[in-house]
Amino acid sequence: MFNLKYRWTRFWTRRGGVSGFGRLSAWLATLFVPPYKGRSHLARFAPQGFISPRAELQHTDIELGNNIFIGDRVQIYKTASGGAVRIKSGAALYSDITIETADSGTVTIGEETHIQPRCQLVAGKASIIIGKRVEIAPGCAMYPFNHGFSPGKKIREQPLVSRGDIVIDDDVWLGFGVIILDGVHIGEGAVIGAGSVVTHDIPANAIAVGNPARVVKMRSDSGA
């Protein structure tokens, strides 16, 4: 029975994709597979990886690498002026993630990067660029823009402003609920503690915590 279920799952996963038939194939592939991370191994069954039939890819400029995993209720959305979304090979996006591009902003997610549930990546005015093997815990948010708040004008009427792209280098770890604001560059191998709000650059291999986040030590100091 196990071999029969395995062959069934592998057969239909290989026929998955973003087309109507591909979405149906993905649904059939999951009939004997537990949800959430229990399905992440399906990404290895086919070069195109696995896209949940419950994901919503409402984007006209999306580039998907090999062996990616896109889980349930992931939304990838583009406004009329939004830029591209690029998800590189081996990346995994688990459930209830929102990725949106607007006002020429783009999103790039590097190879083998893992994004856990309930994260929001909204690229407006500037871009979000995430490197390789980045580990992003649940509930993180990235906004490379802000609303103006000058007096005499309603908030809804304020223009969007930005200090520049959000750039996260390779091998970074973001703890639960980290918020990253516009113009921030997080260096390779840095660790950002849970609940931190990152408003300024963080150097490579630093450990930063707090609101606003500040460097408390380097990884070399802790033996990490």
Per-residue pLDDT of the chain (224 residues; tens, 9 = 90+): 668 898 999 999 999 988 889 999 999 999 999 999 999 999 999 999 999 999 999 998 999 999 999 999 999 999 889 999 999 999 999 999 999 999 999 999 999 999 999 999 999 999 999 999 999 999 999 999 988 888 888 888 888 889 999 999 999 999 999 999 999 999 999 999 999 999 999 999 999 999 999 999 999 986 55
Please state the separation of Cα 57 from the chain's center in Å: 13
Whether pTM exceeds 0.95: no
Q: What is the pLDDT of residue 222?
A: 62
Among 41, 114, 147, 200, the active-site one is 147
What pLDDT is recorded for position 203?
98
Tell me how far apart the alpha carbons of residues 31 and 72 are, in angstroms, rounded to a whole number. Answer: 14
Identify the CA nearest to 135 among candidates 112, 157, 158, 107. 112
Query: What are the Cα distances from residue 37, in Å, to 70, 116, 206?
Result: 11, 10, 30
Angstrom CA distances, 17 to 30, 57, 60, 171, stand at 14, 11, 15, 29
pLDDT at position 2, please? Answer: 66
CA distance 93 to 64: 12
CB–CB of 89/40 below 8 Å? no
Give, in degrees to the nearest 5, the angle at Cα 197 between 121 and 215.
125
Beta strands of 10-106 (E only): which ranges? 50-51, 56-58, 62-64, 69-70, 75-78, 85-87, 92-93, 98-102
CB 161 within 8 A of CB 180: no
Whether 185 is catalytic is no
Whole-Å CA distances, 29 to 13, 52, 136: 5, 10, 27
The whole-angstrom separation of Cα 194 and Cα 180 is 12
Q: Domain 54-222 belongs to what topology?
A: UDP N-Acetylglucosamine Acyltransferase; domain 1 (2.160.10)
| Residue-level pLDDT at 223 | 59
> Measured in Å, how far apart are the chain's first and last C-alpha atoms?
45
The domain locations on the chain are 1-47, 54-222
